[in-house]
Amino acid sequence: MTEQTTTTTTAQHEAPRIVTRTGPGKFVTDTGAVFTREILLVLRDPFTLIFSLLQPLIFLGLFGPLLTGTFGGGFGGGGASTADTLQWFVPGVIVMISLFGTSMTGSNLLYEIMTGSYERVLATPLDRSAILVGRALKEFAPLLVQGLIIAAVCIPFGFTFHVLPALAGLVLLGVFGVGIGALSHALALASKNREWLFWGVQQSLLFPLLILSGMMLPLEAGPSWMQTAAKFNPLTYMVDAERALFGGTLADPAVLWGAVAAAATCAVGLVVGIRATRKAV
C-alpha cells in the first residue's frame, strides 16, 4: 500500500504541467494556427487563385475603355489619359476583389458546417475571435497577392506604383477585410441549414455597396440621391482612401476617413461575429 502511494505521488510530481496562455499572446497564437490551417487548404489548390485573377482583369479590360470618355483619350493608347484612367480605376478594382473575397468567408463556413468540421474546430480551446480573424486573413492574403499582380500588370500602361503608400493602403484593406469577413461569418451561422438565405443577403448587399461606392464608375455624374446614399456607405471612404494612397498621398483627408471606416467596420464585425460564434457553441 505504501509502495503504491509512493508511486502515485511520484507520478503526480513527474506529470507535466499544462500551461494555458491567455490574453493577447493566446489570441495571436490562435489566429496564426487558424490562418495556417486555412491557408494550407488554399495552397493545395493553386488553380483557384489563378482563375480568380480573371475577374478583375476582365473588369480592367471592359470598364477601362468606358472610363476613357470621362478622363479623355484612349485606354491603352498612351499618354496622360491612360495613366489617369488606371490611377483612378486600379485601386477600385483592388478594393473590389478584397470585398468579394472576404465576403465569401461565410460560404466556406457553410461547407464546413455541412461536413461537420466546424464543430470540431469549436471543440478546441481556440479563442473565438481568433477563429474569425484567422479565417478573414486567410481570405485576404491571396487577394493581397492578386492586387499586387494587377498593379504590376498595369505599370507598363502608365500606372504609377508608390510602394509605401500602397502598402499602407493594403494594410487598411486588411483591417476592413477582417470586419467584412467576421460579418460574413455571422451571416453564415445565422443561415445554418438555409444556404439560400446567405446568398440572398450577401448578393443583395454586395452589388449596391459596390455601385454606391463609386468603385467602378464616378458618382459625380449620377443623381443627387445616389451621391447622398454614397455618404452613408463605408465602402465609399475605403475607395477614396485607396485612390489617395495608391496615388502616393499619405496626408490626404480621405485616408483618415478611410481609416475610421476600416476601424469601425472591423470593430462592428468582430462584435457581431464573436457573439454569433458563442451562440453557435
Render the burial of 17-33: b for 16+ CB within 10 Å, e for the rest: eeeeeeeeeebeebbeb
Contact 142, 56 (CB under 8 A): no
Contact 178, 269 (CB under 8 A): yes
What is the 8-class DSSP label of residue 18? P
* Distance (Å, whole) CA 28 – CA 21: 10
pTM for this entry:
0.79
* Chain centroid, CA 277 distance in Å: 19
- What cell numbers appear for 120 in the block? 470540431
Q: How far is CA 152 from each of CA 51, 71, 86, 89, 156, rounded to the nearest angstrom?
A: 18, 22, 12, 14, 8
| Cβ-proximal residues to 150 (8 Å cutoff; 6+ apart), any chain | 53, 56, 57, 60, 90, 93, 94, 97
Stated length of the chain: 281
Q: What pLDDT was estimated at residue 129?
A: 78
- As to burial, measured by CB atoms within 10 angstroms (0-12 exposed, 13-18 middle, 19+ buried), residue 147 is buried
Predicted confidence pLDDT, tens digits, the chain (281 residues): 454 444 444 444 443 343 345 667 788 888 888 888 878 877 777 676 666 677 777 777 776 666 655 554 444 444 446 677 888 888 988 898 888 888 888 888 888 888 887 778 777 888 877 887 888 788 777 777 888 888 888 888 788 888 899 989 988 998 998 899 889 989 998 888 788 889 999 989 998 998 899 887 788 878 889 989 999 999 999 999 999 999 888 889 999 999 999 999 999 998 998 888 877 65
* Distance (Å, whole) CA 118 – CA 107: 13
Contact 138, 39 (CB under 8 A): yes
> What are the pLDDT digits (tens) for 58-98?
777 776 666 655 554 444 444 446 677 888 888 988 898 88
